[in-house]
Amino acid sequence: MKVIVGLGNPGAEYERTRHNVGWWVVDHLADVWRLDKWKKDGQALTTSGTVHGIRMRLVKPLTYMNDSGDAVQPAAAFFKLPPEAITVWHDELDLIPGRVRVKRGGGAAGHNGLRSIDRRMGSQDYWRVRLGIGHPGQKERVLGHVLADFARADQDWLVEMLGAVFLGVGTMFPGMELMIVAHIAVRVGDGDLIGVERVVRIGRTKHRHAPRQGECRNYHIHTHIFCPVC
């Protein structure tokens, strides 16, 4: 069994913020893998299913970012999973906008969600997929940066990054964390632009026929962020 965690904060006021980019990925995975409906389980929203013969459980903590470990550790303990069976998707200040990196283990690099998971799990030996959002330049501006909505100026690199991510994770075998690098480790200006444009075009077409927020988000969230209707 594999557990995939998307870090973020609950509540409509945080839905489009930089801190919630991990949530968007697991929302997309639940959609393309056709998993069960999301349901509340303890301090998280979860959904499960079998993908390519592997039992998958997706987790969105409802604890707020700083206490993410309170939602992740119970899932690992209940299924008696080792840390390496867990993959956490999260925003990363120390990567330039649009860059994606994968690693197993290591420090939290100041990310409070990872710190909480490290503390509650008693281990750092889990997988992390780091989605670059860039650093605002000054330490005192960090909180406002991660809790702010993505700006329209971010649209080009964000659509490219999430398009590459969605194309990669939707077709890869679950749990093959190292394969993510080949699929989606991109910089701004890199990547499969034809594929990304195809995803964006399909997403926008779908959106015109499904302007309600939920349908738009569940189809392609990267178009939802800049949706003039939603």
Question: Mind telling me the catalytic residues?
Answer: 19
The most distant pair of C-alpha atoms in the chain lies apart, rounded to whole Å, by 47
In the sheet where 127-132 sits, what is the strand order? 39-41, 44-51, 54-61, 2-6, 86-92, 127-132, 100-104
Residue entry with tokens 């995803």: 199
Q: State the angle between helix axes of 177-184 and 155-169 in degrees (0 to 180), rounded to the nearest 10.
A: 130
* Number of other CB atoms surrounding residue 36 within 10 Å: 12
C-alpha distances (whole Å) from 137 to each of 116, 145, 184, 221 are 24, 10, 26, 27
